[in-house]
Amino acid sequence: MAGPFNPELHVDLKRFGAKDLDMCMNCGTCTTICPMSEDSGGGFPRRVIRLVQTGQQKKLESSLDPWMCYFCGDCTLNCPRNANPAEVMMASRRYLTSRYDFTGLASLFYRNPLTEIIAIVLVGLFITALFVFLHGPMVLHRVELNTFAPVKWVELGDWIMAGTLSFFLLAGAVRMTWWTLGRRDMLRVSPMIFIRQIPTFFAHLFTQKRWARCGSHPSLIRWIKHLLLVSGYLSMLTLVLILLRWFQTDHVYPFYYPQRLWGYYATVALLYPTGDFIVSRLRRKEPIHFFTEASDWIFLVMLFLTALTGIMVNVFRVNGFPMATYIIYVIHLAIAVPMLVVEVPFSKWSHIMYRPLSIYLAGVKKAVADSTGKGSDAQALEPAAAA
C-alpha cells in the first residue's frame, strides 16, 4: 500500500468477517439507531463502513470508533440493506488488532484460522513435552503435585509467559496510541493529560461500564455475564501469577477456606459465561451470535476447557487420585498456556487491552481538544469524503 488509500481495504475486511460490507448504501440508519454513537461523537457505524468502502486505511487505523461499539446488534436488526453493520465493526476491531500487532501473527491467525489452530497445537505440544521430559518424581500412593511439578518452576514459567505476553500486548498498545493520537502530534500532548486520564483506563478495564448502556435489554444481561467472566479471569490471573505458591499446594484445606472458595468462584465465573456464550452462538438468536468466526470459537472453547480441566485437577487432587491429577494437570496447562500465548497478544483476547485503552485515548484526545480550544475532537469527525 502506498499512500493513505488502499483500494483493496474492503476485500481485506471481508477476510476479517465483514462479509456483507458491500451491501451498505450509507443511509445512516445504523448511526442513528446506535445507542453509543452520539455520546462517542463518532458517527459510526456508517463512517467506519465508509472509511472501509473508500479504502481510507490510514484513517481507519487512526480511528477509535470500532472500539466504541459493544455489539448490541441494533444496527444490524435495523439495516435496510442487511449489510450487517455490527459485524463490520467487529471485523474492523479484528483488523485493527492485526494492524496494531507488529509481528503479523494476528493478521495470519485471523485470516487463516488453521494457522491459529496449528499454533495452539504446537504450543500445547511444547508444554506437554516439557512435562514429559522434565517432570519431577511421580509419587503414586498419594497426591504430591508439587513433587511432580514443583511450584517454583511453574511459577518461573508463568512469569516468563506473562512477560512475553505483556511485551507483545504493550507493543500493540504503543502502536495504537501512536496512530490514534496523530503520530507526531502525540509528542506535543502534555504528559499531565496522559496521567490524568489513567483512572479511566482502569475503570473501563474492570467494569466495561459503557457496555451496560448499550442497546436494549439483552445487552445488559450480556454485560453482567461478561462482568462475571472478567472477574473469573482476573481471579485466575491473580491466583496463577501472584498467589501460585498459595494456590498450588498439596495440602487439602477445608472446604470453606478462601483458597478453595476463590478457586471455585473463578471456575464458576469462567464456566458459566463461556458455556452460555457457546450455546448462544450455536442457537444464533441474537445478532451478535448470527455469525461466529473461527477465532471466536477457538477463544470460547479454549477458555471453557481451561476452566473445566482446572476444576478437574482440583477434584482428582482432593479425592486422592495421583496419576489422574498429574495427567489432567498437564492437559490443563497444555490448554491454558497456548490459549494465553496465542489469544492474548494476537487474537480475540487483546481486546482486554485495546478496549479500555481506546476509551482512555478518546479521553486524552478530548482533553487535548478542550485545552487547545478546538471544540470537539474534530480530528475524529472529519467527513469521510468519497475518494
Partner 1 sequence: MVAQTGEKRYSDALVIGGGIAGLQAALDLAEQGYKVMVVEREASIGGRMISLSKVYPTLDCASCITTPKMSAAAHHENIEIMTYTEVKSIVPDGDGHLVTVTRKPTYVNADKCIGCRLCEYACDSEFADSFEQGLGATRAISVAFTNAIPQKAVLQAEYCLSCGLCLRACPTDAIEFDQQPRQEQIAAHAVIITTGFQLNGLNIKPQYSAAQSANIISPLTLERLLAPHGPYGRVLRPSDGKIPESVAFVLCSGSRDRTIGVPYCSRVCCMYSIKQAMLLAGSLPTADITIYYMDIRAFGKGYEQFYQNARAMGVNFVRGKVSHIDVAPPDDLMVHVEMTEESVDCVRRQKHDLVVLAQGMIPQWNPSGVSTVTIGEDGFVATPDLASPCATNVPGVFVAGAAAGPKDIVDTIADAGAAAMVAARYLVRCGSKESAQPGGGRSVRLELAV
Which residues sit at the interface with partner 1, rule CB under 8 A? 25-33, 37-38, 43, 46-47, 77-82, 376, 378, 381-383
Nearer to partner 1, 137 or 383 (CB): 383
Please state the closest distance from residue 228 (CB atom) to partner 1, in A. 32
Please state the closest distance from residue 67 (CB atom) to partner 1, in A. 18
Nearer to partner 1, 59 or 94 (CB): 59
Nearer to partner 1, 29 or 235 (CB): 29
Nearer to partner 1, 195 or 386 (CB): 386
Task: Say how far apart CA 215 and CA 220 lie, in whole Å.
Answer: 8
Q: How many CB atoms lie within 10 A of CB 242?
A: 12
Please state the closest distance from residue 296 (CB atom) to partner 1, in A. 25
Please state the closest distance from residue 380 (CB atom) to partner 1, in A. 10
Please state the closest distance from residue 98 (CB atom) to partner 1, in A. 28
Asked if residue 322 lies in contact with residue 139, where contact means CB atoms within 8 angstroms, the answer is: yes
Please state the closest distance from residue 28 (CB atom) to partner 1, in A. 3
Nearer to partner 1, 29 or 309 (CB): 29
Question: 3-state SS of the chain?
Answer: CCCCECCCHHHHHHHCCCCCHHHCCCCCHHHHHCCCHHHHCCCCCHHHHHHHHCCEHHHHHCCCHHHHCCCCCHHHHHCCCCCCHHHHHHHHHHHHHHHHCCCCHHHHHHHCHHHHHHHHHHHHHHHHHHHHHHCCCCCCCCCCHHHHCCHHHHHHHHHHHHHHHHHHHHHHHHHHHHHHCCHHHHHHCCHHHHHHCHHHHHHHHHHCHHHHHCCCHHHHHHHHHHHHHHHHHHHHHHHHHHCHHHHCCCCCCCCCCHHHHHHHHHHHHHHHHHHHHHHHHHHCCCHHHCCCCHHHHHHHHHHHHHHHHHHHHHHHHHCCCHHHHHHHHHHHHHHHHHHHHHHHHHCHHHHHHHHHHHHHHHHHHHHHHHHHCCCCCCCCCCCCCCC
Nearer to partner 1, 183 or 374 (CB): 374
Please state the closest distance from residue 9 (CB atom) to partner 1, in A. 20
Nearer to partner 1, 31 or 219 (CB): 31
Q: How many CB atoms lie within 10 A of CB 57?
A: 21
Nearer to partner 1, 65 or 343 (CB): 65
Please state the closest distance from residue 218 (CB atom) to partner 1, in A. 17
Please state the closest distance from residue 321 (CB atom) to partner 1, in A. 56
Nearer to partner 1, 8 or 39 (CB): 39
